[in-house]
Amino acid sequence: MKRFLLCATLAISLLCASCAGGHGCEFESEWSYSGDEHWKSCSYSGCPESAARAAHSFGDPVTVKEPTEQAEGKAVSVCRVCLYERVTVLPALKHVHSLPESMTCDSREHWYTCSACGERVDRAAHGRSEESVISEPTNDTPGEARYICPDCGYSYTEELPPLPRTLTEAEWREAFVLDNMRIEHVFHMGSIPQKELFEVDGDLILASTTTKYYIKNTGMSIFPGLDFADRYGSFVHRENGVFTADKITVGSEALTYNFSNVRLVITDGRLAEVTYTVDFDSVIGSISHKYVINDWGRVKLEFDYLGKERLDAALVEEHFTGNITVRVAETREGVYSETEYSVVGDVCMVKIFDENGKVTGSYVTSAAEVGPLMLGEMKKFLSNFDAASFIGDPDGGDDTGAVEYSYAGPETNVEGYGSIGQVSLVIKDGKIQTFYYSGNSGDPDVAYFFDYGGAS
Q: Please tell me the predicted confidence (pLDDT) of residue 201.
A: 80
- Is residue 256 within 8 A of residue 262, CB to CB? The reply is no
The type of residue at 152 is C
Identify how many contiguous H helices and E strands the chain contains and give both numbers: 4, 32
Q: Please tell me the predicted confidence (pLDDT) of residue 226.
A: 57
- Count of all residues that appear for the chain in the document: 456
Contacts of 290 (CB under 8 A, 6+ apart): 185, 186, 187, 273, 274, 275
Contacts of 184 (CB under 8 A, 6+ apart): 195, 196, 197, 291, 292, 294
pTM, 2 dp:
0.47
Q: Please tell me the predicted confidence (pLDDT) of residue 5.
A: 32
Residues of the chain with pLDDT under 50: 1-18, 218-220, 456
SS3 259: strand
- Is residue 38 within 8 A of residue 84, CB to CB? The reply is yes
Q: Please tell me the predicted confidence (pLDDT) of residue 403.
A: 87
Nearest to 437 by CA among 353, 394, 357, 377: 377
- Is residue 287 within 8 A of residue 417, CB to CB? The reply is no
Q: Please tell me the predicted confidence (pLDDT) of residue 87.
A: 94
State the burial class of residue 382 (Cβ atoms within 10 Å of its Cβ: 0-12, 13-18, 19+).
Answer: buried
- In the chain, the domains with their CATH numbers are 22-90 (no CATH), 104-160 (no CATH), 169-296 (no CATH), 304-451 (2.50.20)
Query: CA-to-CA distance for 304 and 369, rounded, in angstroms?
Result: 33
- DSSP assignment of 77-143: EEBTTT--EEEEEEPPPPP-----SS-EE-SSEEEEE-TTT--EEEEEE----S-EEEE---SSS-E
Q: Please tell me the predicted confidence (pLDDT) of residue 327.
A: 93
Query: CA-to-CA distance for 155 and 150, rounded, in angstroms?
Result: 10
pLDDT tens-digit map of 166-192: 888 888 888 877 778 888 888 887 677
Q: Please tell me the predicted confidence (pLDDT) of residue 389.
A: 81
Q: Please tell me the predicted confidence (pLDDT) of residue 81.
A: 93
